[in-house]
Structure 1
Amino acid sequence: MNTTVAAAVAEAHRLQWGFVLAATARVTRDLDLAEECVQDAYAQALQQWAEDGVPSRPEAWLTTVARRRALDALRRHDIFRGKLPLLVGDDVAPPADRDIADQDIPDDRLRLIFTCCHPSLHVDTRVGLTLRLVCGLSTAEVARALLVSESTMAARITRGKKKIKVAGIPYREPSPEELPARLDAVLDVVHLVFSTGHTAPSGERLQRRDLIERALHLARVLRELLPAQSGTTGLLALIVLTDARRRTRTRPDGSLALLSEQDRTLWHAEEIREGVRLVRSALRHQPPTRYALMAAIAAEHARAPSWEATDWPGIIGLYDTMLEVWPSPVVALNRAIAVGQAYGPAAGLQALGELSAEPQLTAYQYFAAARADFLRRLDRMDEARAAYREALARTENAVEREFLRSRLEELGDFL
């Protein structure tokens, strides 16, 4: 196989799959048929590009081939007009049967993203469909990413597609009135993909680079397609700033390095500059979105020359504003941790105590871990050991588990 061609096809798959599938789905009005046609187009590219060379616009070439296959399939089965109107919107019409390689192809990725992230679908299904259809991961890859069996993921994706069909979810962008609420659902999916990659819920590695890169790509696509939306800008800023410290989150031996211990000279300066620029842009919109505020908090950490120089009172103020926008127990937990950094462990422990009745936090490992840290710093060792054990029992990631074990060993508790 021609390695240059194989690399070009792989790059087109990584960057353009969602574009090609979205454009093809406009023709087929059927996600399964669109997927089949796009897969055929990529397979044909391996052979045709080896003979003719890689085209100057791979996405246009692939879209032309996929849409031609779709039109042929629709004619062959005599369903062009009679097919059940899956993905139908009043503004969606099949294209004329002509070569579109030299034309501007409408970018339908927003249609596809909003369809995959429709609020009527369960959040797990939204994530699975987005990774499968927008990002082009195989069902097996999606299953591995989300820590479920391939059969479970296949069933989940099939049910999602069926619900889109049966419920008549339209293949269109939301109206201006619908956009804010619908966009929140999309941003939440992308953020969930990123956070799952940033700290893997389980497994031997702290991070999942594949998921982080997919989330970053999706965030850049959303920022490109919806540049006026503060939420898209804020989410991209948050991901860029958080991922800028990826090289320092673990030590050379693979053990966890806390933010206070990381070598900030190894953080990616250019990414921090990009993220700060994006934060400033996102905060120009008032009131600020929660992703803009989350990004502003990440920017405070990124800009601080040291842990000791971090503007903790400023971060607490950002969390206060965020609680007005998004009153979440996890946000309140993060604020309590910031209080402990700003005013000492006793103040932090008191702030955590005010959250102890929150049902969402009772089984949350980071609540127990934060409490354990404050207790350790206050020399309340018996209570600290109990809190560390509680956090350990609720943690499945191997790197985080080893860190908690090391803390217990420091306190004389050898498991």
Structure 2
Amino acid sequence: MPPGILTLADGLAEKATLSPANTGFMLICSALVMLMTPGLAFFYGGMVRVKSVLNMLMMSFISLGIVTLLWVLYGFGLAFGTDTGGIIGWSSDFAGLGHIGLTQLWGTSTIPVYVFAVFQLMFAVITPALISGALADRVKFTAWALFIALWVTVVYFPVAHWVWADGGWLFKLGVIDFAGGTAVHINAGAAALGVILVVGKRIGFKKDPMRPHSLPLVMLGAGLLWFGWFGFNAGSWLNNDDGVAAVAFVNTQVATAAAMLGWLAYEKLRHGSFTTLGAASGAVAGLVAITPACGAVSPLGAIAIGVIAGVLCAMAVGLKYTFGYDDSLDVIGVHLVGGIVGSLLIGLFATGGVQSDAKGLFYGGGFGQLGKQTVGVVCVLLYSLVVSYVLAKAIDLVMGFRVGEDEEITGVDQAAHAETAYDFAGAGGGTTARRTTALGETPTKKVDA
């Protein structure tokens, strides 16, 4: 987010003229970011086994419902209301979004408060959805829904204030996070680690094959994420007047391409193949890494960030087998590690000529910005990890976070949603059709011709 834009000074008095062009631009960006959550659902849904597809989709979609309502009721006020001690915000005008003028501008920007609020809402929606990939196949849907509500309230809303609100302590420190490296990706990745330490491993982890059931769905989801990410990053400047949004757009494309190639090159050298899963995962790693840096670096810096993130994230996904934690869909390896890489590399590659005059080590800025970035990374990581663990533990003690063993083996789709993703019964036109169940059985069944 741009320094100097996010301010509640003078009671949100209008300080600029409403720009229809920027307002339309930001509404389009908001819609693009909203599309990322269904894209994430497909990305994760394709990576799980058949018996968990619908549950994986629903773990993302339910965030659209829960977080939207909480954001309107109090989330926007906590994240972007009048600052209290650099830790949290609040404004009674934001409660329920009912006391905001239709043309009231957001701080010194040229867009209405409502437009800024809905843009930021989409960030709040996708962040807890990112966590869900670490928990595939084994958690209660009701427990997950409760966790979302609690987590955004005590983790996401405060951290968003620290990083992006004018009075937030990390914002005042000078930590650069253009569109969510700390507030979104490190936050979600650390939370994923905290929760899986509570819920434990899937039955059969490191023993049974747990391959993606639909790589085309994975690629579709990755494509939707890539498309929506242009709104995520370019829109975070809140206007299209000075070329900064255009730089963010270009850097997003460049870093994503570089990361995909970096991941594939590592994969070929390490495992001997270029896989579609590697291409999709590498692209997402690049998107994650460039998110905090897209307004601070040049396209050449974006290439470097992308390649480094692609290789390091590809290496990091194997850590779960080394350390024995079951991060089902590599949220830690991609989002936590990618967010850390992108945030820290700002301290090396920031040019001082785009969103701000802050320069990285390679551009004559010394170690100052790198130190600030390190503080932001460590503080958000530790806060999210500890609080997420405590929340998950409390839910586990009160209602149980994990489904029963029989339900996990049968599949959470049936247990939680009473549905299956694919109906194989009657899939042929002959006198006998064979259908495959989620458990791998192949009974025969007589059907009408």
After TM superposition, is the score higher than 0.5? no
* Bigger RCO (CA 8 Å, 6+ sep): 2
TM-score by length of 2: 0.24
Greater Cα radius of gyration, structure 1 or 2: 1
TM-score by length of 1: 0.25
